[in-house]
């Protein structure tokens, strides 16, 4: 099968969160299964664009209302990512430093989708599947099925994978004329709550919908930022497929970002070396348990509660624990997390910002990783933590529920029910008690490193969905 993935992110080209990791890995694993998977994404002004060689495969124009933009599509020449990568370059719209967060994101992602479809519409052959990821590519199923320019693509099955239903990309009907022409009687397929809603439209128009974990699929019929009834209605064509992780990028034995690589056999000495190096850099005590949080500092992740949770834990533990945070997001949370550094020197530290290498070092060097998420469609951090022998402390929700079993239930992690300071505080206490039993900790570390969360299984599950 020839599968075209459309996405706003793809590691290592451009990554903000887990979407990038998934789109950087799934196509590679689909190719290993002898399919031909390709990725089409915007050309941002990233290092990857400047450090690699490309050829131009398409040159055209995108019209948005009265504005015209030149669109070029570049193909990365060497297939170095394990799949063909195509970058859609639209001067003045997409070639910016950041992936998201601009006032004209609607125009940016709309132009991206139109340029990509204009290009595919010119191909002599047609792909077997168009696979869209999240709302930034959510108008593609509608356009393929309804726009006159793409009529000859309309038999191609379209799949939507929902990585996060909180973000839907809504915009006003005043921008309807940006879309290529279609029969206006079909405009209802774009609508949700009196707006054009790309995520809702994709849920209506895609032939199949997948969520990134089975539990999340159950949850969104009850809680999905206003789309609950739509999910319930389209449940019949929806499947939950748990994300995998890229075992080649996330391999503690060969990870070039670590101080020292390690295997199941050498996990104790390996983690010790990585923990000591981290503690040196961040002025922490490597003889004490090291708790960490890595991620976007937003409400979904429970990040607003972290300052209070950490304050309480550090007060109560009387110097017996360390905490290290890596993240960026809401400025108020960033400030409060930074402020704790001055209150608890030598026991707490925070790196506010994005740092891929540091994230690897933390997964390797930490004892516990906290994920008190309010919403977690899948979550990759807990799977990276497991692979690097770090015990996850997670809320029982979404993909966290599908991947972490509590030690009290014969499992290997620490789970709590709610995102509040008491539940998380209690979980931190349970982890501390566990840490005192080093024999048990060593046993768990060895066990969790052998859990198989690689993409092999999920890559095939997607192929099965395409063929349903
Ligand atoms: P989400 O996509 O909702 O942010 P995931 O758990 O699926 O959550 O994936 C988050 C990804 O982003 C992981 O690869 C994680 O290591 C990475 N990440 C998040 N914040 C940072 C950061 N500040 N620095 C480096 N990596 C980060
Ligand atoms: C989203 C979700 C996260 C998931 C990731 C990759 O960003 O918030 O839970 O792991 O997508 O699918």
pLDDT score at 361: 98
Give the chain's length: 468
Distance of CA 149 from the midpoint of ligand 1 (Å): 38
Q: Are 300 and 422 within one domain?
A: yes
Q: Are 47 and 196 within one domain?
A: yes
Distance of CA 295 from the midpoint of ligand 1 (Å): 5
Distance of CA 59 from the midpoint of ligand 2 (Å): 33
Residue 251 lies in a domain: no
CATH of the domain at 437: 3.40.50.2000
Residue 260 lies in a domain: no
Distance of CA 384 from the midpoint of ligand 1 (Å): 10
Ligand 1 proximity of 355 Cβ (cutoff 6 Å):
yes
Domain of residue 395 covers 267-448
Q: Are 222 and 272 within one domain?
A: no
> Tokens for 143?
């356009």
Residue 258 lies in a domain: no
Q: Are 414 and 362 within one domain?
A: yes
Q: Are 177 and 315 within one domain?
A: no
The label of the residue with tokens 């992602």 reads 109
Q: Are 370 and 291 within one domain?
A: yes
Please identify, by atom number, the ligand 1 atom nearest to the C-alpha of residue 351.
23
Ligand 1 proximity of 252 Cβ (cutoff 6 Å):
no
φ and ψ at 133, to 5 degrees? -120, 115
Torsion 450-453-456-457 (CA) sign:
positive
Q: Are 444 and 309 within one domain?
A: yes
Residue 18 lies in a domain: yes
Residue 250 lies in a domain: no
pLDDT score at 468: 82
Give the total number of structural domains in the chain: 2
Q: What is the DSSP letter of 10?
A: B
326 vs 118, 282, 355, 359, 391, CA distance in Å?
41, 11, 8, 7, 17
Q: Does an H or E element contain 62, and which?
A: strand 54-64
- Rounded to whole angstroms, the Cα distance separating 373 from 424 reads 10
Q: Are 15 and 120 within one domain?
A: yes
Following DSSP, what letter does each residue of 347-388 receive, concatenated?
Answer: TEEEEES--HHHHHHHHHH-SEEEE--S--SS-SHHHHHHHT
- Rounded to whole angstroms, the Cα distance separating 375 from 372 reads 9
Residue minimizing CA distance to atom 6 of ligand 2: 18
Non-local CB neighbours of 437 within 8 Å, separated by 6+ positions:
none
Ligand 1 proximity of 324 Cβ (cutoff 6 Å):
no
pLDDT score at 89: 98
Torsion of CA 175, 180, 184, 190, to 10 degrees: -60
User: Where does residue 174 rank: exposed (0-12), middle (13-18), buried (19+ CB within 10 A)?
Assistant: exposed
Residue 181 lies in a domain: yes
Give the residue from 211, 75, 192 showing the smallest Cα distance to 133: 211
The radius of gyration of the chain's CA atoms, rounded to the nearest angstrom, is 23
Q: Are 168 and 23 within one domain?
A: yes
228-264: b (≥16 Cβ within 10 Å) or e? eebbeebeeebbbbbbbbbeebbbbeebeebbbbbee
Residue 422 lies in a domain: yes
Q: Are 187 and 102 within one domain?
A: yes
15 assigned to a ligand binding site: yes
- Rounded to whole angstroms, the Cα distance separating 409 from 39 reads 41
Q: Are 240 and 371 within one domain?
A: no
Strand partners, 298: none
Angle at CA 254, nearest 5°, toward 249 and 260? 120
For 399-457, the three-class secondary structure string (H helix, E strand, C coil) is HHHHHCCEHHHCCCEEEECCCCHHHHHHHHHHHHHHHHCHHHHHHHHHHHHCCCCEHHH
Find out whether the peptide bond into 287 is cis, omega within 30 degrees of 0.
no
Residue 252 lies in a domain: no
pTM of the model: 0.96
Q: Per residue of the chain (468 residues), what is the pLDDT tens digit? A: 999 999 999 999 999 999 999 999 999 999 999 999 999 999 999 999 999 999 999 999 999 999 999 999 999 999 999 999 999 999 999 999 999 999 999 999 999 999 999 999 999 999 999 999 999 999 999 999 999 999 999 999 999 999 999 999 999 999 999 999 999 999 999 999 999 999 999 999 999 999 999 999 999 989 999 999 999 999 999 999 999 999 999 999 999 999 999 999 999 999 999 999 999 999 999 999 999 999 999 999 999 999 999 999 999 999 999 999 999 999 999 999 999 999 999 999 999 999 999 999 999 999 999 999 999 999 999 999 999 999 999 999 999 999 999 999 999 999 999 999 999 999 999 999 999 999 999 999 999 999 999 999 999 999 999 998
Residue minimizing CA distance to atom 1 of ligand 2: 163
3-state secondary structure of 275: helix
Q: Are 153 and 302 within one domain?
A: no
Following DSSP, what letter does each residue of 300-329 receive, concatenated?
Answer: GGTGGGHHHHHHHHHHHHTT--EEEEEEEE
């Amino acid at each position: 099968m020839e599968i075209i993935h459309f996405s706003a992110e793809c590691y290592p080209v451009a990554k903000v969160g887990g979407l990038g990791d998934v789109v950087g890995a799934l196509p590679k694993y689909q190719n290993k299964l002898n399919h031909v998977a390709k990725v089409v994404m915007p050309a941002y002004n990233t290092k990857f664009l400047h450090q690699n060689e490309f050829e131009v495969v398409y040159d055209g124009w995108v019209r948005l209302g009265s504005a015209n933009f030149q669109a070029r599509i570049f193909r990365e020449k060497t297939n170095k990512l394990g799949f063909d990568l195509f970058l859609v370059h639209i001067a003045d719209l997409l070639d910016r430093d950041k992936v998201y967060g601009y006032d004209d994101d609607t125009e940016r992602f709309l132009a991206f989708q139109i340029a990509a479809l204009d290009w595919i519409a010119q191909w002599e052959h047609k792909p077997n599947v168009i696979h869209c990821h999240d709302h930034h590519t959510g108008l593609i199923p509608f356009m393929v099925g309804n726009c006159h320019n793409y009529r000859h693509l309309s038999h191609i099955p379209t799949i939507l994978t929902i990585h996060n239903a909180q973000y839907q990309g809504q915009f006003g009907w005043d921008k309807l004329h940006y879309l290529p022409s279609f029969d206006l009687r079909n405009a209802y397929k774009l609508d949700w709550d009196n707006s054009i809603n790309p995520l809702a439209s994709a849920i209506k128009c895609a032939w199949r919908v997948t969520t990134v974990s089975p539990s999340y699929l159950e949850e969104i019929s009850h809680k999905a930022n206003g789309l609950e009834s739509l999910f319930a209605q389209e449940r019949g064509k929806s499947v939950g497929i748990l994300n995998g992780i890229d075992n080649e990028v996330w391999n503690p034995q060969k990870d070039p970002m670590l101080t020292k690589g390690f295997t199941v056999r050498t996990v104790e000495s390996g983690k010790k070396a990585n923990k000591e190096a981290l503690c040196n850099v961040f002025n922490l005590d490597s003889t004490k348990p090291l708790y960490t949080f890595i991620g976007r500092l937003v409400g979904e992740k429970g990040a607003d509660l972290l300052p209070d949770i950490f304050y309480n834990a550090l007060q109560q533990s009387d110097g017996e624990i360390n905490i290290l945070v890596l993240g960026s997001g809401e400025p108020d949370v960033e400030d409060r997390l930074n402020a704790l550094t001055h209150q608890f020197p030598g026991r707490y530290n925070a790196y506010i910002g994005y740092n891929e290498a540091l994230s690897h070092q933390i997964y390797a060097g930490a004892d516990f990783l906290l994920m008190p998420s309010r919403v977690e469609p899948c979550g990759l951090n807990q799977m990276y933590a497991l692979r690097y022998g770090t015990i996850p402390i997670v809320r029982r929700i979404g993909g966290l529920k599908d991947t972490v079993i509590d030690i009290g239930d014969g499992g290997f992690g620490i789970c709590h029910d709610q995102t509040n300071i008491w539940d998380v505080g209690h979980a931190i206490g349970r982890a501390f008690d566990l840490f005192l039993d080093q024999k048990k900790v060593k046993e768990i570390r060895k066990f969790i490193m052998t859990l198989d969360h690689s993409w092999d299984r999920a890559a095939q599950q997607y192929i099965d969905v395409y063929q349903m």
